Amino acid sequence: MDRTEASAFDVSRTSFLLRAPVSRSYANFIGRKIFLFLVTMQELGAFALITLGVCARKLRRPVPLIRELICEQIARCGVRLLPMFLFVALALGFLVIGQTVAVLAQVGAIQWLGSIMVVAVVREIGPLLAALLVLARVGTANVVELGTVRALGEVEALEALRIDPVHYLVVPRVVGLMLGTFALTVYLILGAVLSGYIWAFLQDVPIRPGEYFSQLAGALTYPDFALLALKTAAFGFVIAIVTCYHGLARPLPLDAVSNATVRAVAQSIVGCVLLDALFILVYLNV
């Protein structure tokens, strides 16, 4: 009985696409890129489903060790990044919000401040910038760490000890990145809004703090809060899945870890931007 259960899109069966010489036909070149994109999407989707399946199954019998690992990852993806995020929040407030407030005051359109800030900062710049910073600081480290773990045979050691590698290595990172990205986005937005007012104040823009913050609060709706949480958690999920997949999914020689990191960063950015586009459609219909 043949028990080989290789996927139709197993890398050993599709890597010929990468090795094949670049076609001189433009249509073939585009076709190959599209096929590779679909293969990558399928592999990432399968990895995401496996991870969600493990999360769901293990919830019934939680392991205290995994809870500790999740706390470590939350500290790593959230608390330890807070100083950098506060710095970026200050910069964002000074560079973008403060200047926007000043320009709106000059043209007499200060009544649009709340709407502009909610669209620009709460819905778009805040979550996307937070996701990119988390990707740079934590996502890249994930690929290197997990790639090294795979290259040194530690995954096989976990399996030999009957420890599920997805449960031990991936689940804490996924949960940590989802919660960390959400929390850091909230801090980033609050810091940027606050520093934006400070910048406007320093430029003698005629707007009082009460007016500034009440305009912001008035422009926010309940769906904004819910969608912000959903969107940032989804960004964290995409970053975690893509980076863990590239670190773990296949055995890597140590010298291939850097290339895997580059691929993971590029695919995470594409994933987050596509997700962002999806949320724009949701915002337009809310």
Binding site for another protein (CB under 8 A): 1-6, 12, 57-58, 63-65, 152-154, 156-157, 159-164, 168, 251
- Dihedral (Cα; 153, 263, 128, 183), 10-degree rounding: 0
- Report in angstroms the alpha-carbon separations of 216 from 137, 150, 189, 199: 30, 48, 12, 16
- Counting every residue, how long is the chain? 286
What's the rounded Cα separation, in Å, for the pair 243 and 268? Answer: 8
Distance from the first to the final alpha carbon of the chain: 55
CB of 216 to another protein, least distance (A): 43
CB of 167 to another protein, least distance (A): 9
Q: Pull the structure tokens for residue 140.
A: 């890249």
Task: Choose between 154 and 211: whose C-beta lies nearer to another protein.
Answer: 154
Task: Choose between 232 and 243: whose C-beta lies nearer to another protein.
Answer: 243
CB of 6 to another protein, least distance (A): 6
Please classify residue 249 by burial: count the beta carbons closer than 10 Å to its beta carbon, then call 0-12 exposed, 13-18 middle and 19+ buried.
middle
CB of 165 to another protein, least distance (A): 11
* Total Cβ atoms within 10 A of residue 170: 25
Task: Choose between 109 and 159: whose C-beta lies nearer to another protein.
Answer: 159
DSSP 38: H
CB of 263 to another protein, least distance (A): 20
CB of 276 to another protein, least distance (A): 34
Task: Choose between 164 and 276: whose C-beta lies nearer to another protein.
Answer: 164
Task: Choose between 3 and 19: whose C-beta lies nearer to another protein.
Answer: 3
Residue 152: what are its φ and ψ, rounded to 5°? -90, 5
Task: Choose between 15 and 221: whose C-beta lies nearer to another protein.
Answer: 15
